[in-house]
Structure 1
Amino acid sequence: MLKKLAIFIPFLTLGIVTTAFAAEPTTSIIPGIDLGSSDPEGVSNSLQIIILITILSIAPAILVLMTCFTRIIVVLGFVRNALGTQQIPPNQVMVGLALFMTFFVMAPTFSEMNQTALKPYMAGEISQKEAFTSASKPLKEFMAKHTREKDLSLFLDYAKLDKPKEVDDIPLKALIPAYAISELKTAFQMGFMIFIPFLVIDMIVSSVLMSMGMMMLPPVMISLPFKILLFILVDGWNLIVQSLLVSF
């Protein structure tokens, strides 16, 4: 689906710009919008463009809160802060790595959504409502698997909703925020474990400098090379990525 959207966007932009310059204001005809049509072929081009733009506008929120992106980017941020390397690796590298890891982890879910929802809808075999239901099912199963019952109960109780018997019965308006705070808690737990060895190095270096009377020398300048060396010796990036993949 992402590949198709990525391919379609340049052609969509080119088509809109070309139409805007080629069409005369006096002779342009706006196609009708049939909101009641359940047939994909019956939906007007204008409505399809509106739906596409709406999906693209909320795509970042969908990517961040409904996938494993949150846990990955928070853990990578903890790694950089624990090392104390300021802006190294750069934010672009961190976000890029988190995105590709997200696509890797979510590939089975996206594939199932494509097979059960996107392809049948594009072929005209199912309606928009059926496509949405089929597409949300794999996402619900993934999010419910990594959502704590306590967090889900928080939003269900606040909205005064009955406890669902199956995963399909969980409303997305309660599942998405519950999944988000569950991911944040898991990411902070992993970040705490990452901080411990680097904190020990800082404490040792600070104690040594204090005993030598070098109180004016910042301990960070001395501890930073040792932390980087330790991270290299244990193959830190491999361990971090492996831990993230295993956690899913």
Structure 2
Amino acid sequence: MSSGEPKPEKEKVEAKTVKTKSRKKILVTALLSLVLMAFLPVQASAASTGIQINGNGVDTLEMIQMFLILALAPSILIMTTCFTRIIIVLSFLRNALGLQQTPPNQVLIGMALFLSLFIMSPVLMQINEDAYQPYKEEQITQEQFVQRAAVPMKEFMLKQTKKDDLNLFLNLSKTEIKSAEEAPLTVVIPAFMTSELRRAFLIGFLIFIPFLIIDMVVSSTLMSMGMIMLPPAIISLPFKLLLFVLVDGWGLLFKTLVASFNM
């Protein structure tokens, strides 16, 4: 046994040191924030505190909420729109064709993004009419804007969500509702994501079948000819590309994806 301190005491000392360092970091961050706020053109009054931008007063809390929404925009896009199903199906198609980086990830993401905008355009138009335009004209508050904007998004997600997935998360959250419209967003969003992943994998399975048949035919032909050392993927790739182009694969895929959403 060594003559040092026992292990429990060492752990306590290390924990205290970590807490002290974290407190120092928090204090330094707070001081820096105060210094930055001191140099901002802020006009304080008894009624409210805001920042003057082009002569118009903007509430500081509203600016913080706006930056928070912008930071969460990618997550909102993935969790509440049809983007997830489309990008997963496109990835399955690339793997089924046997292509590694063609089309590139940027092309797939761009295709999925604009196809999502095409599918979500009725929802976005409803949000613009019911929520954004009244908020822009200062007819409703920010809280009312969020509540009105969430209604069409929630309706869209419920149309794509299976009852089994919705009931699963309702049971996990121990929430009792009379109808699906009363379900909170904290339940609807994960149920919607689960349904989207299930449908995307099912479509990917159907995409793989014709290309898998081509791989099997090519590999069996090469085996019968005694060409064991020749990789079947090299021979089957041109045939898969030719089949995909002849049947207008991109048009059929996009048509199927758009038709798979309940609008």
TM-score, normalized by length of structure 1?
0.83
Q: Comparing 63-72 with 26-35, which one deviates more in the overlay?
A: 26-35
2:179 equivalent among 162, 165, 184: 165
CA distance in 1, matches of 2:215, 2:180: 49
Q: Which residue of structure 1 aligns with residue 161 of structure 2?
A: 147
1:85 equivalent among 75, 96, 99: 99
Q: Which residue of structure 1 aligns with residue 150 of structure 2?
A: 136
The answer on 1:231 being equivalent to 2:244 is yes
Q: How big is the alpha-carbon RMSD for the aligned residues of Structure 1 and Structure 2?
A: 2.2
Residue 103 of structure 1 and its aligned partner are, at CA, apart by: 0.5
Q: Which residue of structure 2 aligns with residue 95 of structure 1?
A: 109
Residue 51 of structure 1 and its aligned partner are, at CA, apart by: 1.3
Deviations 1:147-189 (A, max 9, x none): 011111111111110034251x110000001000100100111
Residue 34 of structure 1 and its aligned partner are, at CA, apart by: 5.0
2:123 equivalent among 92, 95, 109: 109
CA distance in 1, matches of 2:190, 2:217: 41
CA distance in 2, matches of 1:211, 1:244: 39
CA distance in 2, matches of 1:138, 1:124: 21
Q: Which residue of structure 2 aligns with residue 50 of structure 1?
A: 64
Residue 131 of structure 1 and its aligned partner are, at CA, apart by: 1.5
CA distance in 2, matches of 1:183, 1:242: 17
2:257 equivalent among 198, 223, 244: 244
Q: Which residue of structure 1 aligns with residue 33 of structure 2?
A: none
Uncovered stretches (5+) of structure 2, i.e. residues with no partner: 1-35, 50-55
Q: Which residue of structure 2 aligns with residue 20 of structure 1?
A: none
Residue 227 of structure 1 and its aligned partner are, at CA, apart by: 0.3
Deviations 1:54-84 (A, max 9, x none): 0001100110110000110011111100000
Letter in 1 for 2:210: P
Uncovered stretches (5+) of structure 1, i.e. residues with no partner: 1-22, 36-41
Letter in 2 for 1:152: L
Q: What is the DSSP-based 3-state SS (H/G/I as helix, E as strand, rest coil) of the residue aligned with 1:85? A: coil
Deviations 1:25-46 (A, max 9, x none): 67954657959xxxxxx98432
Q: What is the DSSP-based 3-state SS (H/G/I as helix, E as strand, rest coil) of the residue aligned with 1:214? A: coil
The answer on 1:201 being equivalent to 2:201 is no
Residue 24 of structure 1 and its aligned partner are, at CA, apart by: 11
Letter in 2 for 1:182: S
Taking a change above 3 Å as real, the CA distance of residues 95 and 214 of structure 1, as seen in their structure-2 partners, is: same
Deviations 1:183-209 (A, max 9, x none): 010011111110000000000000001
Q: Where do 1:165-184 residues align within 5 Å?
A: 165-167=179-181, 169-184=182-197
Does the 8 A contact of 1:71 with 1:183 survive in 2? yes
Taking a change above 3 Å as real, the CA distance of residues 31 and 103 of structure 1, as seen in their structure-2 partners, is: farther
CA distance in 2, matches of 1:57, 1:24: 21
Does the 8 A contact of 1:147 with 1:182 survive in 2? yes
Letter in 2 for 1:142: F
Greater relative contact order: 1 or 2 (C-alpha under 8 angstroms, separation 6 or more)? 1
Letter in 2 for 1:153: N
Runs of 4+ deviating beyond 3 Å: 23-35, 42-45
Q: Comparing 44-53 with 62-71, which one deviates more in the overlay?
A: 44-53
Does the 8 A contact of 2:158 with 2:180 survive in 1? no
Letter in 2 for 1:86: Q
Q: Which residue of structure 1 aligns with residue 76 of structure 2?
A: 62
- Report how many residues are paired: 219
Identity %: 50
Taking a change above 3 Å as real, the CA distance of residues 73 and 86 of structure 1, as seen in their structure-2 partners, is: same
Residue 124 of structure 1 and its aligned partner are, at CA, apart by: 1.7
